[in-house]
Structure 1
Amino acid sequence: MSADKTGIAREFMDSIPQARALRLELLEVTDGAAVLRLPYDPEIVGDPETGVIHGGAVSTLMDSCCGTAVIAHPGNPGATATISLRIDYLRAAAPGQAVTARAECFHVTRSVAFVRATAHDDETGCPVAMATGTFTVEARQ
């Protein structure tokens, strides 16, 4: 992965106010793949009785991770935007645990990128959610 693409991926993450508010951490970027972490924070709990992170925060993590994977793909010359994103929530994340997502951009056409992702918590490592999505690909100059 070029340093240029890594820098672009970091700029992409830094430009999303919601990603900054959730303190999403960019852990890894390779050609067409990304790993992001959502730290646990009581401010993003969806169920105060259980302490489970709100599904919307997990959704932001998955969407941002997928977009970062598209940005990092060698077949994408620039920016991206979400066209569609399907997230299947498999179980609640363990209370008090961060959630980590890994996304892979597995196919790119002239205008659309196809991505899949999995998120898991730190405690069990078992999947919390899975996603598939399509994202825009910037036109080549």
Structure 2
Amino acid sequence: MTSTVARFDPARAAKFLLGHGHAGWLGLRFVAAGDNWVELELPWREDLLGEPDRHVLASGPIVSLMDMASGLCIWTARKEFAAIATLDLRVDYQRPARARAAVVGHAECYKVTRSAAFVRGVAHDGDPGDPVANIAGVFMTITGDTRRVPQ
């Protein structure tokens, strides 16, 4: 008997993951994906401003964008969903996003081991060559039944 486990589909998963919780509240949108990368978009919204007198997205939502893009690219590279936890996500801001501009997050999973996955990426507001931020991250695979409550 052969197993018919479905390959992880980031576009299909994004329909669920980006419609709920924090990602849903932020309004994150799926843009594109490849073998080991994912792009998401964080739309500009007035309630996501970093400073009330500047129409620029705050840094916190951009970190959330890149964390979600990182998780999706890891599952895409592994070709399956597995519980993961962010161990380290370094965000190096280069400049503020343009006023009233959406930010696109591109994350690539470049290495997967038995217990960890490594990502790099860029957040930009239209030109990947002129990034708002660069990221590098390490994510841990969580093994076992994550739904079990310890006794």
Query: Which band: TM-score by shorter chain?
Result: 0.7 to 0.9
Distance 1:14 1:101 in 2: 14
Cα RMSD, aligned residues only: 2.4
Per the alignment, in what secondary structure is the counterpart of residue 57 of structure 1?
helix
Per the alignment, in what secondary structure is the counterpart of residue 73 of structure 1?
helix
Per the alignment, in what secondary structure is the counterpart of residue 92 of structure 1?
coil
The aligned residue for residue 71 of structure 2 is 67
Deviation at 1:39, TM superposition (A): 0.3
Per the alignment, in what secondary structure is the counterpart of residue 54 of structure 2?
coil
Distance 2:99 2:51 in 1: 10
The aligned residue for residue 27 of structure 1 is 31
The aligned residue for residue 133 of structure 1 is 137
Deviation at 1:15, TM superposition (A): 6.8
Among 13, 16, 36, which residue is 2:17 paired with? 13
8 A contact 2:8–2:80 mirrored in 1 = no
8 A contact 1:65–1:102 mirrored in 2 = yes
Q: Which has the larger radius of gyration?
A: 2
8 A contact 1:12–1:68 mirrored in 2 = no
| TM-score, normalisation: structure 2 | 0.80
- Identity over aligned residues, as a percent? 35
Distance 2:128 2:143 in 1: 41
What code does the residue aligned with 2:59 have? G
Moved beyond 3 Å, runs of 4+: none
The aligned residue for residue 54 of structure 1 is 58
Q: Structure 2: state its 5+ residue gaps.
A: 1-5, 145-151
Q: Structure 1: state its 5+ residue gaps.
A: none
What code does the residue aligned with 1:129 have? A
Distance 1:123 1:113 in 2: 27
Paired positions, count: 139
Deviation at 1:122, TM superposition (A): 2.8
